[in-house]
Amino acid sequence: MEFKTILFYLFSAITVVAALRVITARNPVHAALFLVLAFFNVAGLWMLLQAEFLALALIMVYVGAVMVLFLFVVMMLDINIERMRQGFWNNLPLGALVGLLMVGEMAVVLSGRYFGLANLPPQNMPANYSNTKELARLLYTDYAYPFEIASVILLVAIIAAVMLTLRGRKDNKAMHSSDQIAVKAKDRMRLVKMSPEVELPAVAAKEGE
């Protein structure tokens, strides 16, 4: 058996186990961390397919950013696990349907040769073949407009998400840097002039004698 084959089975076994643990783990934080493990192993599988850009982008975007924010939210929530499990049987039919659909699609893709869909490029690439460069060339030349349009749609989605959640609160205490920089010493401190000694009242002066 080739070393690559051993690696493939190792990565896939860990991916399957981690993916199962994502849905069976009782603690949501553990589930999120198992999802991270699954992502890592999928990245390893993609690396075996010589798709190094996709593999590293998966780690950078999903593991490095999306899952960090996901964990951030999951940790903040005080999740009642018992209540989350209540709807299991009600939601099962819909979930099973979606699952079956996905299995069917995967089957069509994986057995593409049987369905006459196999249109994969030859596997034997020259030594200086760079997946990253090829992807960039396609994205920025042949598919430049679709790529730009997709980016703009994403940008619109980002701005919309911010606008939907942005409510100006009346008790907002956020400070503005420009106001802070514009502050002069006069605005913050009042110098009071007073004489260093105070004349004692006449009565006190008499007692002192």
Partner 1 sequence: MEAIVLPFVEGLLGPLWPAVKPVWPLVWTLVKIVLILSPLLLSVAYLTFWERKVIGWMQVRIGPNRVGPWGLLQPIADGLKLFFKEVLFPTAADKKLFVLGPVMAIAPALAAWAVIPFSPGWVLANVDAGVLYLLAISSVGVYGIIVAGWASNSKYPFFGAMRASAQMISYEVSMGLGLITVLMVSNSLNLTEIVGAQSKGQFAGWGLGVFSWNWLPLLPMFAVYLISGVAETNRAPFDVVEGESEIVAGHMVEYSGMAFAMFFLAEYANMILISAMTSIFFLGGWLSPFGFLQQIPLVGVAFSNGFHWMAFKMAAILFFFLWIRATFPRYRYDQIMRLGWKVFVPLTLVWILVVGVWMMTPLTIWK
Residues lying near partner 1 in the complex (CB under 8 A) are found at 27, 29-30, 33, 36, 52-53, 56-57, 59-60, 63-65, 68-69, 71-72, 75-76, 130, 132, 174-175, 177
DSSP states along 29-61? HHHHHHHHHHHHHHHHHHHHTT-HHHHHHIIII
Q: What would the two tokens of residue 170 be?
A: 């009346």
Q: How far is the CB of 185 from partner 1 (least distance, A)?
A: 19
- Kindly tell me which of 90 and 178 has the beta carbon lying closer to partner 1: 178
Q: How far is the CB of 81 from partner 1 (least distance, A)?
A: 15
- Kindly tell me which of 79 and 109 has the beta carbon lying closer to partner 1: 79
Cβ atoms within 10 Å, residue 87: 9
- Kindly tell me which of 65 and 106 has the beta carbon lying closer to partner 1: 65
Q: How far is the CB of 33 from partner 1 (least distance, A)?
A: 7
Residue type, 128: N
**Residue length, the chain?**
209
Q: How far is the CB of 30 from partner 1 (least distance, A)?
A: 8
- Kindly tell me which of 73 and 107 has the beta carbon lying closer to partner 1: 73
Q: What is the residue whose two structure tokens read 């249109």?
A: 119
Cα first-last separation, the chain: 112
- Kindly tell me which of 113 and 173 has the beta carbon lying closer to partner 1: 173
Q: How many whole angstroms separate alpha carbon 114 and alpha carbon 185?
A: 80
Compute φ and ψ for 139, nearest 5 degrees: -65, -40
Q: How far is the CB of 113 from partner 1 (least distance, A)?
A: 30
